[in-house]
Amino acid sequence: MDDFSLVINAGSSSLKFAVYRRPGSEEWRLESRGQIEGIGTSPQLSLKQADGRKLIEEPAPEVKNGRDALDALARRLRSLYGGSRVLGVGHRVVHGGAKYTGPVVITPEVLADLHRLTPLAPLHQPHNLEAIEAVSKLLPDVPQVACFDTSFHRSMSSVAQLVPLPREIRERGVQRYGFHGLSYEYIASMLPQVAPEIANGRVIVAHLGSGASMCAMKHRKSIDTTFSFTALDGLCMGTRPGAIDPGVILYLFQNLGLSAKEVETILYMKSGLLGISGISNDMRDLLASHDSAAQLAVDYFVYRATKEIGALTAVLGGIDGLVFTAGIGENSAEIRRRICGASAWLGIELDADANERRGPRISTGTSRVSVWVIPTDEELMIARHTGLLLGLTTAHNRKHKPSQTQGAAYSH
């Protein structure tokens, strides 16, 4: 195998990774991808080649935490690719704050900045940074790149980024940041090929998964998004509530006497689809259930998505195209059908057969608004940025090719 670049997406209970071949004159080529899941409980390591063939699927009992997961990953990669050289490591980092408007090569100063942003993403940032620090020890001479979920939204206007609180609070970093930016950036890069007729128009992209948000784009730039200061705002999600009256939070503190940690746990881990249904945070389970609470959770998910499409359409001054992506968006024909049906007033006409086939176009030829399913590929986006920043590729030879990740997990 040629020299390669490694992409890492570290979470609280899982470590996702992808190996990309060193490019010549073409796009980075996926060699393999996998994950270590169940960290801290029953860790399992899986690795597949780009064509889906299994390379490794085994328990990883030695993995007790994120650093153990990196050690285990390094051992497996050495056994598979021992004759190759790691050219660079790209990381998904949830929060780049207002300062980092694009990917950056990681230095001690950058790492210190990112640690200061941890209070803005307490459940994600620590794991992202722990992975960077672990790689620094394992591969001290290999450069690393941080790619931020917030950067894509820095094109939003000052009004769209505003949180209407006193200036002295806003000056301490309280603003609307937005997230899922790597996913939106990938979709924006694919629009000219997949849907050229809407590529530079008014497009709403619905990233629907366990974490869910929408982005309004014009000329493939972010105009507005449903996420805000944190990844709690906007749409109903697997375990997060989405938009909620701030007075509810005050009530939890003042009247129910809950602690800050208890409220944090409720908002991040016990709300959303799980909180409404009391059954599951997995859309597949809820769609298969005949329980009225499960049906209510699905109805609310669709309701909130439809409401946000209307709001973002108003911000854009109209809509030319709607794109579904991520786990639920790519895989659930039923959720796409319900959202498109509730948004028919915009001129959306769904092609039922195309919707079942997952498109890519799932609207009729006469639909005033075209609707698409485009699989996202955040790992490839990170690989692209890593190659560019480290001088391994150039913008000229970085060709955009469709993602090969159809069928991504619902938990994306």
Neighbouring residues of 393: CB distance < 8 A, sequence distance ≥ 6: 23, 28, 384, 387
Q: Reply yes or no on whether 377 is catalytic.
A: no
Q: Which residue has the tokens 């894509």?
A: 152
- In three-state secondary structure terms, 223 is strand
Residue 247 contacts residue 203 (beta carbons within 8 Å): no
Query: 233-248: b or e for each residue (b if 16 or more CB lie within 10 Å)?
Result: bbbbbbbbbbeeeeee
Output DSSP code: residue 231: T
Between β-strands 44-49 and 29-37, what pairing exists: parallel, antiparallel or unpaired?
antiparallel
Q: In 164-259, which residue ranges form alpha helices assigned H by DSSP?
A: 167-170, 181-194, 246-254
Residues 336 and 14: their CA atoms lie apart, in Å, by: 28
H helices of 229-373, in order, are 246-254, 260-269, 272-277, 283-288, 292-316, 326-331, 333-342, 352-357
The pair phi, psi for residue 356, each rounded to 5°, is -65, -30
Q: Give dist(CA 225, CA 378) in Å, integer.
A: 18
Given 3, 71, 149, 351, which residue is catalytic?
149
Q: Among all residues, which ones are annotated catalytic?
A: 149
